[in-house]
Structure 1
Amino acid sequence: MENAMDEVVVTKFTHGLIGPDTGFFAHVRNGGRIRAVTPPGCWGPMITPDFRGGHEVTQPVYVEDAKVGDALAIYIEKINVLSEASSSGTMQTNEAAFTDDPFVAKKCPHCGTPWPQSRVVGIGEGSIRCAHCGAEASPFHFGQGYTVAFDKARQVSMAVDQNHAESYAHDAKHLAALPESSQQYPILLYAAHALTGLPVRVEPCIGNIGTIPSRTLPDSHNAGDFGYFLVGAHHEWHVSEEELDEARTDAHLDCRDVREGAVLIVPVKVDGAGVYMGDAHSIMGRGEIAGHSIDITADITVRVEVIKGLSLLGPLLLPNIEDLPRIARPFSEAERRQFSELGHTLGIIPALDVLPVQFIGTGKDLNVATDNAVKRAARFMNVGDDEILNRATIAGEVQISRLPGVVQLSLQLPRELLEAKGLWNIAYEQYLTS
């Protein structure tokens, strides 16, 4: 493709939306790399009244040779934490500051201006003010909030006290390391200071990464759980349940295993794929039970490869081997010998040529998300749901990625199937060459 580059460095963000209307930043060749310094995901955009979604992700990149009905392998090569400090916590909403959805349909609680322009006055949870009338205009406050500081090597972090939190609030943009073109207010402005002294590991992951949906959606809602808030909504990004299922690519995974070394395989629903990323976290426990983890500015590099003719209903993940549940890991040499000996005794050849794949499922709750993952796996394997249920119970596992509704379904898949889908070499390199 003309003007396709070996490496694209993305410097623009989409102000809360993602899809065909956001356009392409540049073109990258099939096999090329995409790099970006991504701003924090959730809290900054959430408290900024003119954002149309809950994140601030990169403008999509067009990948040569990627067509609707293909898939795209995204190799996550690097995630470097740039923020010196960050804040997070449980959330409370200011119901007067939005209509249908506090992430999307924001308004000034006093003058009613939708998505009002705003300014910062001082620090704290009342610091974001409507530019039209001066009223406090953020739709989100903390239930309990905390602030962490990172060490210079970005290997550990710790929750700070009130004095440090207030000091950070006065230098929020610098300490958050916001990219120059970022338009969010840094959440450090709120000066949250619970959990003082709590030590927190640093294991960065990417919360929102993949390809654009086939219709423009709020970026935080490109998944079956958050996207469900769009069903029947009264703002302009409303959808039916069927329209959401057809459009979404489930890029908003919030999966702690989407980190350096992992391979994410995603559907292509628009020609050129439209790769984008953002919402990186310094760490996140499975389930993201507080609703939000520690959002960071991150320097991310990924490599992309088109898989022709692989039609997917949703993402597949090949995590690092240490992130796989033990039950689904590749067999050791000792295990292979034991299975072979048992097979010889029984006169049955054991199906040992298998490697693990995780199917991502999303939905309005965990039950729906699990059913979604099962059906995606059944279609991929061309078997009935019952076989997936059995395999996932005795040779696989379901893990919670995010509440209310994102799961990872681990299965061991046979070589002949993976070869037919064009995935055997990718899985082999991921699990059997290190």
Structure 2
Amino acid sequence: MVYESVLYNDLHTNGIIGPHSKMLGPVADGGKIVFLTPPGCWGPMITPNIRGGHEVNVPVLVEKAEIGNSIAIFLEDIKIKSRATSSGVGEPVENAYMGDPFVFKICPSSKEPWPDYEVVGIGDNAVRCKDGTPASPFRMVHGYTMLFDDSYKVGITVDKKLSEEIAKNAKSYMSLPPNSKQVPVVTLAKADLIGAVSRIRPFMGQLGSIPAVDIPDSHNAGDFGYALIDANHPYRITRDQYEHDLTDGHLDIDSVRPGSIIIVPVKVKGGGIYAGDGHAMEGDGEVAGHTTDVTTEVSVKVEVIDKLNLEGPLLLPREEDLPPLAKPWRKDEWDYVMNFAKKVNIEVEPVAPLQIIGSGPTINDAAKKGFERAAKLFGMKLEEVLNRVTITGAVEIGRLPGIVQVSMQVPIRILEKLNIADIVIKHYNLSY
């Protein structure tokens, strides 16, 4: 079998990922993947025949990735391709879906599931069934269109006139990939927020390994995935599948950006590394429910970690993205610590920062899951984890309603047992 050292991936799913997904590769252990990702949330959400809340890239098999291993994904670069985007606070449209508007979309008039459609003009009702009935299962109740500067440093939300001009050239402004099937969200021509300015700070909302059950891509996390338990559509799952088969690939954590490393579980042979849902910027929590979806070119390196059996991802953000108490100790600081410890006759041991991802139907559930995952992985009592997080780390909100980053300083001897000490030490340039 030939293992690609660099694999280019510009193919996308129809919203469903899992063990029956079409996969590319395999890419070599230590090889690179370049993804051309289409915009994530709103475009697929308003497209009637896409069966998940997103349109992610098809997964890639990785050499040597066996079930029970993990894969370190080194996020090297994100290039934004879109010149404009649109987003906002949304709500479901009655009669345009059954049960879950992200998943089971229907034509309001014919009740046909995942119907064929056409785009007629621009605006809220541009997406229609073939009989002319407005077909989008979501409406944007307060939205904006944002234009980026040529250097991709800032974005500015535009007025109605410019939003309509952008809407009439939607695919061009969003640089929609050739293989994408979505309706570009700028077609809606939203302009409820004008003149708001933001710094561009791109990150990936989806980057991970595929789950061990076929599910909608946007639901591969403990918060959205909860809605799949005993659902009334073909992608229903059991509570046991919810607890054990998901991989939390859909995180919307803004520190999953160039220079970070995410370590993900292998729950299907080959891992199935996929990417999607790139954004231009987001504050912690994604409190509007959605943010600035863009087309991106994403470059990652993948390395298999043998015998690291994870329940969910671990994240090594860039140092500046760590909370203050979790930042790595530098040599001068550690020398001071050692001198103080010697004076009081207390032994201390080298530590390094690590973030454990927790997910669940609520933020409290997600935090609890993060603590439990840490305790199990590190062989600690839960109470020890709580104390270490409190005085050497933090709990940060990745996404409302239920994704958190549990940061703590972890003894290097434990990281050595997990086969990740070398990665962490090199990433944070530690020298104990």
TM range (shorter): over 0.9
CA distance in 1, matches of 2:226, 2:192: 32
Percent of paired sites with the same residue: 44
Question: 1:406: which partner in 2?
Answer: 403
CA distance in 1, matches of 2:340, 2:6: 51
Which of the residues 378, 390, 413 maps onto 2:375?
A: 378
CA distance in 2, matches of 1:103, 1:130: 17
The question of 1:420 aligning with 2:417 is answered yes
Question: 1:115: which partner in 2?
Answer: 114
The question of 1:251 aligning with 2:253 is answered no
Cα deviation digits, residues 207-227 of structure 1 (max 9, x gap) = 011001001110000000000
Q: State the shift of 1:194 in Å.
A: 2.1
SS at match of 1:21: coil
Question: 1:11: which partner in 2?
Answer: 10
Q: Which amino acid aligns with 2:351?
A: V
Q: State the shift of 1:433 in Å.
A: 6.2
Q: What does residue range 128-167 of structure 1 map to in structure 2 within 5 Å?
A: 128-131=127-130, 133-167=131-165
Q: Which amino acid aligns with 1:431?
A: Y
CA distance in 1, matches of 2:86, 2:161: 14
Question: 1:54: which partner in 2?
Answer: 53
CA distance in 2, matches of 1:86, 1:311: 39
The question of 1:210 aligning with 2:208 is answered yes
Contact 1:12–1:25 under 8 Å retained in 2: no
Contact 1:20–1:216 under 8 Å retained in 2: yes
Q: CA RMSD in A?
A: 1.0
Q: Which amino acid aligns with 2:411?
A: P
Question: 2:37: which partner in 1?
Answer: 38
Contact 1:80–1:299 under 8 Å retained in 2: yes
Q: State the shift of 1:335 in Å.
A: 2.7
Contact 2:174–2:184 under 8 Å retained in 1: yes
The question of 1:168 aligning with 2:166 is answered yes
Question: 2:273: which partner in 1?
Answer: 275
Cα deviation digits, residues 162-183 of structure 1 (max 9, x gap) = 0000000000011100100000
Q: What does residue range 232-381 of structure 1 map to in structure 2 within 5 Å?
A: 232-351=230-349, 353-381=350-378
Contact 1:363–1:372 under 8 Å retained in 2: yes
Question: 2:25: which partner in 1?
Answer: 26
Q: State the shift of 1:26 in Å.
A: 2.2
Structure 2 unaligned residues grouped into runs of 5+: none
Question: 2:101: which partner in 1?
Answer: 102
Question: 1:395: which partner in 2?
Answer: 392
Q: Which amino acid aligns with 1:204?
A: P
Q: State the shift of 1:305 in Å.
A: 0.2
Structure 1 unaligned residues grouped into runs of 5+: none
Q: State the shift of 1:338 in Å.
A: 3.0
Q: Which amino acid aligns with 2:306?
A: K
**Moved >2 Å (runs of 4+):** 332-335
How many aligned positions are there?
Answer: 431
CA distance in 1, matches of 2:3, 2:196: 47
Q: State the shift of 1:299 in Å.
A: 0.6
Q: State the shift of 1:159 in Å.
A: 0.5
SS at match of 1:95: coil
Contact 1:42–1:55 under 8 Å retained in 2: yes
Larger CA deviation: 20-29 vs 314-323: 20-29
Q: State the shift of 1:143 in Å.
A: 1.4
Alignment TM-score, normalising by the size of structure 1: 0.98
CA distance in 2, matches of 1:433, 1:335: 12
